Structure 1
Amino acid sequence: MSPPSPSFSLVPILSYETKVLGYNLMQAMRFAVEEINNDSSLLPGLLLGYEMVDVCYLTNNIQPVLYFLAKENFSLPIQQDYSNYLPRVVAVIGPDTAESVVTVNHLLSLFLLPQITYSAISNELRDRSRFPSLFRTIPSGSHQMEAMIRIIIHFHWNWVILLVSSDDYGRENGHLFSEKLEGRDICVAFQESLPIPSPNRVVMPQDKRRMEGLVAKIRRSTAKVVVVLSLDLALYTFFEEVLRQNLTGTVWIASESWSIDPVLHSFFSVRRAGTFLGITTPIVPIPGFSDFRIRRSEVRKPAMDGKHPQPTCNQECDTCPDAAESYNTVLTLSGERVVYNVYLSVYIVAHALHSLLDCEAARCSRDEVYPWKLLQEIWKVNFTLLDRRIFFDEQGDLPLGLEIIQWQWEDGHNPFNSIAFYNPAEQRLFVATNISWHTANNTAPSSVCSKSCQPGQWKRPVGLHPCCFECVDCAPGTYHNLSEDFECQHCPLNEWSNAGAIQCYKRRLQYLEWQEPLTIIVVILATLGFLSTLAILIIFWVHFQTPMVRSAGGRMCFLMLTPLLVAYVSVPVYIGRPTVFTCLYRQTLFTLCFTVCIACINVRSFQIVCIFKMASQLPHAYSYWVKYNGPYVFVVLITLLKVGIVVSSAMAIPTSPTILYDNENPQIMILNCNINSRKAILFNTSLDLILSIFGFSFSYMGKELPTNYNEAKFITLSMTFYFASSAFLCTFMSVYQGVLLTIFDVSITVINLLSISMGYFGPKCYMILFYPQRNTLAYFNNVIQGYTMRKE
C-alpha cells in the first residue's frame, strides 16, 4: 500500500497594506495574458490561464510553490520519475527577491518546471547546475553593481557609505559591490546594515534606536554619497529618521529594488534628503497598459460553498485598484520598466508554447505540455517584442542594458528621469544629460576623503583607507605627474629635478672649459712657459760650446728641454670635453715627458757629485760610467721602465670618459676621465716620486760644490715642490671628483714644468746673457782651483 500523497490548500495568511509596485506587476501579467489570448496568431485556439499568489515578502514561499506543483485535488504525489507528471501550472513567473527565488527553484527544479524571475539580480542564480530551470528578464547583480561604480567614477567620488539590508539581498549585493571596488580607488567609509521591520512595517524599539544611531553616523561622516542596497521594506522607517534628523545634501544611490518605488518617491519631503540616483531597467512603452492598470474588474466573488477556496486578490480586490489609481500619474509618467520584465516573461512562455505545440496559422496541437519539454523550448526562444530582440544566453540572462535615473518632483515630468545608460556588453557608461543637483548652487557634491594632490606631490597614506592621504612634495631627484600614484618616480641618472617637480630636466654637463678664468690663467702660464723654454733651447743651442752649457749637461740639456716643450704643448688636452684620446694622452705621453726630465736631472745631479766627491775614490767605476755613456743608459732604462708602467696601467684601467654625479650640486654632471684613472695616475707618478727623492738627495749632497756647478738650491726647490704638490694632488683626488680637480691637476703640472725650466735652466741663461765674463773656461778653472784649495 502506497503512502498517502500530501495535500495542500491555498489560503491567505495575513492582510497587509497594498504594495503598489506589486499590484502594478500583477496587472502587467494580466495584461500580457489577455493580449496573447486576444491575438489569434501566437496561440490560435488556446487560452492562457494564470494563478497569482502574494508571497508577502518572505513569509509565504513554500505554500504557493507546492500548490502550483500539485494536481487539481491539491495533492502532490511522491514518485520516482516525474517526466510524465503534469502539475497545475506549466511555468512560474517570479517571485521578486533572490532569497524567495532560491527557495522556490529548489522545488521547481526537481520537476524541471520553468521559472522566470523579473527582478532577482543575484549572481548566484547564474549557476546552471543549481538552478537548471531558472531564467531572468533583468540584468544580473554584477552588471548593476558595475553600473553603480561607473556612475561613482564618473563624478569623481571615492569616499562612499554602504548601507545594506539585513537579509540575503543586502548581504550578497553588498559583498558583490565590495568585490567590484577592488582596484578602483574607491573606498567605503563604513558599511552598516539596515534592520528590516515586519511586513506590516512594525519597528521594534531596539531597531528604532539602531536606526537613529545610523543616521547620526552618516551626518558625522565626511562622505556625501550613500549606496543603499536594500529592499524597499527597510527604507520607509529609515528615511523617516533621515528627515527627522534633517540630513540634507547627500547623494543616495539606489539599487533596482527601490530605485523606481513610487511610494518612497512620494514620501513626505523626501526631496530634502538630497539627490536620488538609481539603477533600473530601461523604459519600454507598452501600448494600452496605463489604461488597463486602473480598469475595474467585472469579475464577482465566487460563492463560498466549501467547494471553492476563499477568494484572493487575483482578480477581485477592493483596495488594490484604488491604490494603483492614486499612484497612476507617477506610474504613467515613469514609464514601464520592471513592468516590461513581467510582460516579457509571459510572452517568453507563450512563444515557447507556440513552438512546443507546433502552432500554425489557425490551430495548435492539443498535446500534453510537460514542464521539461517547455523548458527546452524556452532555451530556444528568439523573437522580437516591442522592437527588442529576445533570446537567452548560456546563464539564462537576456542581453539587456541598464539606465541610471534621477528622482525629480516637477509636475508633469517623468519622476524617474533617465540621465545615463550602461551597456553591459561594452562595459561602457553613456551619460545622456546633466543632473539637477539638490544643492545650494546646483553643483555636484564632493565626496572624497582627501582632495587630489597637485602635480609634483605624492600621497602619504593616512589611516587604513587608500583614499585618505596627505599631499607631500616630491623630494629632489624625483618627480610625479600622475595624481593617482602613491610614490614619486626617480629621475634617470642623467636627469634631475627640484622638489615638487612634475618632470625631470637634463643635468648640465660640466667639464673644464676654455672660458673659465682659472683655465685662462693656466693657459697663459703654459704659453709663457713654452716660450721661455723655447728661448732657453735657442740660447743653449747658440752657446752650446760654452762652459756654462756644458756644466749644465751639454747635449742632455736638449734631452730635457724637448720633453718640456712637448709637455707645455700638451696642456690643452686637459681643457674641453674629455675624449678617449685626451684621457689616454694624460695617462701616457704627458707623464712620460715629465719622467724623462726628472731622470735627466737625477743623472746630472749624480754626475756632478760623482766628479767632485766619488771619482777619486772609485776611479774605475767612474771610468766605466763615462766610457759606456752611463747617463744616457740610465735615462733610457728609466724611460723604458716608465713606458712599461704606462702601458700596463692603460691596459688595466680604461681611459674612456665617465660621468660623475656631484653630491653637493646634483643639477650638474661632471664629465671626466675614468674615475679609476686616479689609480693610474698614482701608479704612473710613483716612479717620478722616487726619482724626485733621489734628485733631492743628490742635489743636497752637492750643496758645497763650486758655484758654477752648485745647482742644489734650484733642484732641491723643484723636487721638494714636485713631491709636495703630488702628495697634495693625490690627497685631493681621494676626497673630491669635480671639475676643480682637473684645474688643480693641470695647474700643478704647469707649475712643476715652470719650476724645472725656470728653476734649473733660468739661472744659467741669466748668467749666459748678462754675465758673459763668467762663461769662460778660465773662469771655471779658477772656481775649481779655489774649491780644491779650500778642501785642502
Structure 2
Amino acid sequence: MDATDLEGDQHVDLKGGAALADGQEDNLETSDSTCGARSPGDIVIGVLSPCHTKVESLQERIRPERFKCTEFDLRSFVQALAVIYTIDTINDSGFLPGIRLGYIICDTCSHALKAIQSTLHMLTFNSTLPICDFEGPLVKAIIGARYSEVSSAVARVLGLYMVPQISTTSSVTTLDDKLRFPSFLRTIPSDGHQTRALAQIMVHFNWDWVGVVSGDDSYGRAALQGFLKDAEDVQVCIAFNEVLPHYLDHAEIKQRIHEVADRIQSSNARVVLLVLRAELVEQLFEVMIERGISRTWIASDSWSMSRPLALMKGINVVGDIFGISFITGQNPGFDSFLANLTQGPGAVNRFIDEYKDLRFGCSPELPDPQNANDDFLTHATDLSLTYSEKVATWAIAYALRDLLKCNQTHCPGERDFPPWKLLQELKRVRFTLDNREFFFDDNGNFANGYHLTHWVKRGQKRHIEVIGDQCEEGTYTNVSNLPNCLKCPNGTWSLRGWSKCRQQTEVYFNWNDPFAISLLVVTGIGFLLLLCVLIIFLIGRHSIVFKVAGGKLCFVIMAGLTVSFGGAILFVGRPNDYICRARQTMYGLGFTLSVSCILVKTFRTFLAFLMDGNQQHSLHKLYNPTAIIICCTAIQGLICLFWLIFDSPKVEKSISRQSMNIVLICNEGSNWGFGIMLSYIAVLAAICFVLARKGRKVPQRFNESGYIIFSMVIYLFVWICFTPIYVTKFKQRSAVQASAIVVSNFGIICCHFLSKCYMILCKNKEDISRKAYMNREQLQ
C-alpha cells in the first residue's frame, strides 16, 4: 500500500479555516483532459499523481468514456510540484550539460483504470504505442504512482515496454517480484522492513501483549501476515486481530468500527497496532473519544504523519501515539517556490490554475486570481514528505548522466535511447544526496530506514515529532539526537537497527563444511585407488592385460588423474587469486592429459580392427601416440595460457547489505576462456566416444571400447548436468565443480583400471596369457 496516506489533506479549506462544504466539494471537477501539466525538454519524465481523489460516477460507467475527477488533493499536488521544482533545479545547475529535462504530469484520480489511461497516453509515440525496441515512447521514466493498487496496475503496463517506474510511496511487498514487475523501483523500503521495524519497537518498549487492527486490502493483509511472523520471532504475543473494510463506502463499515471498538475496550491489551488508512483511523478514534477509551496506539506508515488526525477534535483523549514513517529530509528553496507559483517558459499546468481558482477565485478584491500567491501550501502540508520525490528525480538525473556519458561540458551520448537502457543504469546507480547514500537493491528498493515518531500533546492538538531512526545497514548510533547515523568504521558492518558495528564473517567452501569433508574423503579414496592401481600394474606390467589396457599409457593417465584430483582439493578452503588460477589450470591440463591417452587407446583399437585396408593404411600414418598426447595437451595449455593472460580467474567478494557475511568465491574471469577450456575436453571425449563405438566389435575378452564408451558417457553426462547448476548456484560453485571433477576422475578409474586389476589379481595366469588371448581371437 502506501506511505503516509493523507487523503484528509484534500479537505483543508483553501481559503483558510474550516473544511470545504459538501456543495463546494461536489463542484471541484477538473477538465476531462488526460494530463494536466507539461513542459518541453530533450528528455521527458512522466509523473503519475492523484491530484484528485475520486472519479465521478465510476459505478455507473458502462462504456469507455472520459473520466471526470473530483476532490482536489493538496498533498499529491504538492508532491507533483516537488518533482517540477527538482527538475528546474537540475536544469539550472547544469548537472546535465546541454540537456534540458521536461515533464508531463498526468492525474490518476486515485484509481487504477484512470492511471492506466494516463500511462498509455504518456507511452504514445506519433499517436501509437511502442511495439518494437527501436520505437521510443514519449517519456523515458515515470515517477509514481502513490497507492500500491494503482502502482501494481501501472507496473504491469510499463513492464511490457521496460519503462522504468519509480514510486515514492507504494510499499506493498508484492512489488518486489521482478518477474511480475520487472521495471518497478521505489525510493522507500518495502513493507517487509516495516513489519520488522514494528516488531522491534514492541521489543524496545517491552510491549509483549498487543492487539492488531488492519484493513482488508492487499496492503493490510500482507502487512498483517508479515507482522504476525515477525512478532512471533521476537516473542510478542497477539491479543486480538481485527479486520476493517478498506473501502470507505462499505455497507457495514460503521458496524464493524463499533465492533472493533468493543473488542479493544474489552481486551486487556494496552497497546494496539493500526495498519489502516487515515480515514478509517479517524472514524475509529471518533468512537474512542466518544467512549473515553485510552490506549497506546502504534501507527503504520499509512497514517503516522497524518496532520488531519493530529488536529482532530478530542485527539488527546485517545492516549499515546507512536508510529514509523519513511525517512524524510529537506528541500531547500521549495517553500519559496510554493509561495510564488508560476508556470515556466513553454510550460502548461492546469493543476496550478485549478488550485489558484480554489484558493483565490472567490475573492472579489482579486480580479486575476492566477497571478495571486501566498504561503498557504507551506503551512497546509508537510513539505518534508516530498523528499522522496526529490530523491527519485535526482536518481533519474544521475542515471541519465551515466547513460549519456556526461562530463563537465556536454553529454555526448544518444538522447533518443530506449527506456530499458535507462532502467539498467537506474539499477546500478549509486549517489550521495544530503550526506546520504542512495541506491536500489536487488528488489528495486531503497533501504533507507524509518523514522520513529511520537505524537506530542500541544494544547488541544498533537504535534508529530521524530524521536529516533532505525539505522540503515552499515550505520550505527551510540548516542541520541544525532542528525544522521554514523558509518561503520574500518571495514565493520551492521544490520538494520543495530546500535554497534561488528566484523563481517568470510564465507567460503570451508574445510569444516560437511560436504567439503565428504568431498575430501572421496578424493582421498581416489588417490588411494590410484596408488593401488599403480602398484598392481607395476606387478603385472608383463601381462597381456597390462598391454591391452594401454601399457605405459596407463601411468600417464594416472598422472593426469592425480593432477586433476589435486586441482579438486584446491576448491576447498579460503581462495586467493593464485588458488583460483591454479585449480582450473590443474584440472584442465590434468584431465586433458588423461583423455588424450584414452584417445590414443581408442584410435589404436579402431585402426587394429578397421576392415578397409586402404583406409587403415592411410589413418595409420596419423597414429603417433606421443605426438597425439603432446599436441592435444599443448592445445589445452595454450587455451589456459591465453585465459590467464587476458582475463584470469580471481577472488571476488560478494557483500550483501542485509547480511553480516562476505562470500568469497573465485570469479573465473573470462567466461569465454572457461567455456573453451571445458568445451575442448568435451570435444576430445566426444571423439573418443565416436571412435570407441565404431570399434566396439573387437573380440570381447580384451575389448576396451565398452569401457571407453561408458567412461566418456559418464564424463559428458556429469558436465552437461554441471553447467546449469554452476550458472544458477553462485555461492555453491566451488562445491559443484569440485564434485564434477571428482566424479569424472572416478569414471575413468572405475572403467579403465579396476577391471584390469581384477584380471591381474584374480584370474589364472594361463587364462590371461598371450596364448589364451590368441586362441580366443581365432575363435572369434
TM-score, normalized by length of structure 2?
0.48
| Structure with larger Rg | 1
